[in-house]
Amino acid sequence: MRLRVLLPEQVLLDTEILKLTAEAENGSFGLLPRHVDFVTALVPGILTFITTNKQEEFLAVDEGILVKCGPDVRVSTRNAVLGHELGELKRMIEERFKRVDEHEKKSRDALYKLEADLVRRFMELGKN
């Protein structure tokens, strides 16, 4: 099977695999090369796959869509992190979430300042 993981800005992964395990809303499932074609919504979690050289790899994914069509498996998601070990993957995810949290905090602070300025200006208009 050929696994392609697509992010909005890039193709994160394009490789041949022997087996894939992922998690959908109704539970985890496995895919082998002759599995029936289907589409499913993925929940945030760990996608595990076995490469052609029998290495187990891990991919943390945000919610997304998985499409299995013939020998092709495509995963489309907003965020994903590839790791060779679960411990390494956990560390990478924590670092990314920390950066995202800091960015979101700065965005919220800027939004609060804009809202306060808007309210202040409306109050000044009401006085005139």
Which sequence spans correspond to the domains of the chain? Answer: 2-84, 86-128
**What does the pLDDT average to over 50-68?**
93
DSSP state of 26: T
Q: How many CA atoms lie within 13 A of 25 on its CB side?
A: 6
pLDDT exceeds 70 at position 128: no
pLDDT at position 117: 87
CATH 1.20.58.60 applies to domain 2-84: no
Residue 5: per-residue pLDDT: 97
How far apart are alpha carbons 90 and 23 in whole angstroms? 18
Q: Does residue 65 register a pLDDT over 80?
A: yes
Residue 103 has pLDDT above 80, yes or no: no
45 or 1, which is more confident: 1
Distances (CA, A) of 125 to 10, 111, 121: 48, 21, 6
For residue 22, pLDDT over 80 is answered with: yes
Q: Specify the pLDDT at position 101.
A: 65
